[in-house]
C-alpha cells in the first residue's frame, strides 16, 4: 500500500543544507508492519512526517496504493491526514480540554468514521473503559499512551504511524502495550510503520529496516 521511491529531504541550517534523507526506498504491504530503526538524528521522525503529509520532500515520491501523495492537491492531502493515517507520538498530544471518551473519538469523528461499538471495544481492550470521563491530566503516562493508541485506531486508518509509541514506558509495559497495539492494528486492518530504538520491540514486527546516513539498510 505504501511505496517510497528515492526520497530526499534536507533542512536549511546556518552551515548550509543538512541532507537528512538521501534516497530512501521502502515498501510496506497492506496489513503488514515495519519497524524503522537507526541512531538518533538519522531521520526516522523526518520520514514519518513526510509519509504523514505533514512536510514535503525535496525530491522522490511517496505512493499510497499507487497514487502519489502530492499528486492530487491539498484537498486530497488533507484527506489523507484526516482519514488515511493514525498517528501515535511519544508525546501523546491528547487534547487537555476533552475527556478520554472525546479524545478517543476525536479523529474518527473528523474522518466521519465514528463507530461506537468499535470505540467501546478499543476502550475495553486498552483498559480505558473505567476512565472515559477523566481528563488527560488525571491519567498516568501509560494510560495517556493507551488513549493515544485508541484515538489513532478509532478511525481504522489504512496506515498507523507510530514514533517510539512506548518510548516513555518501562520494559514490561512497553512489551504489553506493543503486543496490544499490534493485535488491535490487525483487527483494524491497518498497516503499521513504527519507529523504535529497541531491537526487542522491532523483532515483534514483520519487517525491520535501519536508517543510516540517509539511506535504508536491511529488509
Ligand atoms: N525542522 C528542522 N530543521 C532543521 N533540522 C531538522 C529539522 N527537523 C529535523 N532536523 C534535523 O534532521 C536530522 C534528523 O532528525 P529526526 O528528528 O528525523 O531524527 P530521528 O532519527 O527521529 O532521531 P531521534 O531518534 O533522536 O528521534 C537531525 O539532525 C535533526 O537535527
Ligand atoms: Mg525521532
The number of CA neighbours under 13 Å toward the Cβ of 89 is 10
CA 11–ligand 1 middle distance (angstroms)? 9
Cβ neighbours of 40 (radius 10 Å): 7
For residue 15 and ligand 1, the question of a CB distance below 6 A is answered with no
Which of 37, 44, 49, 90 to mutate for ligand 1's pocket (most ligand atoms within 8 Å of CB)?
44
Range scoring the smallest mean pLDDT among 49-53, 94-98, 162-166 = 162-166
d(CA 108, CA 59): 32
Helix (H) or strand (E) holding 103: helix 100-110
pTM of the complete model: 0.93
Determine whether 45 is exposed, middle or buried from the number of CB atoms within 10 Å of its CB (0-12, 13-18, 19+). middle
Query: What's the gap in Å between 44 CA and the centre of ligand 2?
Result: 5
- Ligand 1 centroid – CA 55 distance (Å): 13
pLDDT band (50, 70, 90) for residue 92: confident
What does the DSSP 8-state code read for residue 172? H
Asked whether 28 lines ligand 1 (CB < 6 A), one says: no
Residues in Cβ contact with 86 at an 8 Å cutoff, skipping those fewer than 6 apart: 107, 151, 152, 153, 154, 155, 157, 159, 160, 161, 190
Per-residue pLDDT at 165: 87
What integer best gives the mean pLDDT of the chain? Answer: 93
- Whether the pLDDT of residue 62 is over 70: the answer is yes
For ligand 1, atom 1, which residue shows the shortest CA distance?
11
Q: What is the DSSP letter of 31?
A: T
Query: Which residue has the CA at smallest separation from atom 11 of ligand 1?
Result: 41
Cα(118) to ligand 1 centroid in Å equals 36
pLDDT at 169 over 90: no
Judge contact between 1 and 65, C-beta under 8 A.
Answer: yes
- Nearest CA, atom 29, ligand 1: 41
Taking only the tens place, the pLDDT of each residue in 21-37 is 999 999 999 999 999 99
Predicted confidence at residue 170, as pLDDT, reads 84
- Residue 40 pLDDT class (50, 70, 90 cuts): very high
Q: Is the CB of 189 under 6 A from ligand 1?
A: no
Ligand 1 atom 17: residue of nearest CA: 45
Amino acid at each position: 500500500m505504501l511505496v517510497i521511491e528515492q526520497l530526499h529531504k534536507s533542512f536549511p541550517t546556518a552551515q548550509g543544507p543538512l541532507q537528512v534523507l538521501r534516497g530512501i526506498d521502502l515498501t510496506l504491504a497492506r496489513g503488514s508492519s515495519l519497524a524503522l530503526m537507526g541512531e538518533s538524528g538519522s531521520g526516522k521522525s523526518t520520514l514519518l512526517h513526510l509519509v504523514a503529509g505533514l512536510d514535503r520532500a525535496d525530491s522522490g515520491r511517496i505512493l499510497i496504493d499507487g497514487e502519489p501523495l502530492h499528486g492530487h492537491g491539498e484537498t486530497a492531502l488533507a484527506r489523507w491526514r484526516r482519514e488515511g493515517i493514525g498517528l501515535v507520538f511519544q508525546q501523546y498530544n491528547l487534547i487537555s480540554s476533552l475527556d478520554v471518551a472525546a479524545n478517543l473519538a476525536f479523529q474518527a469523528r473528523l474522518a466521519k468514521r465514528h463507530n461506537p461499538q468499535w470505540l467501546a471495544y478499543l476502550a475495553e481492550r486498552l483498559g480505558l473503559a473505567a476512565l472515559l470521563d477523566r481528563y488527560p491530566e488525571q491519567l498516568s503516562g501509560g494510560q495517556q499512551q493507551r488513549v493515544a493508541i485508541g484515538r489513532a485506531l478509532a478511525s481504522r486508518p489504512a496506515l498507523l504511524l507510530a514514533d517510539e509509541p512506548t518510548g516513555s514506558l518501562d520494559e514490561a509495559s512497553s512489551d504489553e502495550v506493543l503486543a496490544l497495539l499490534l493485535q488491535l492494528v490487525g483487527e483494524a486492518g491497518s498497516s503499521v510503520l513504527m519507529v523504535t530504538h529497541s531491537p526487542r520491540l522491532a523483532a515483534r514486527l514483520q519487517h525491520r529496516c535501519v536508517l543510516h546516513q540517509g539511506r535504508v539498510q536491511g529488509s
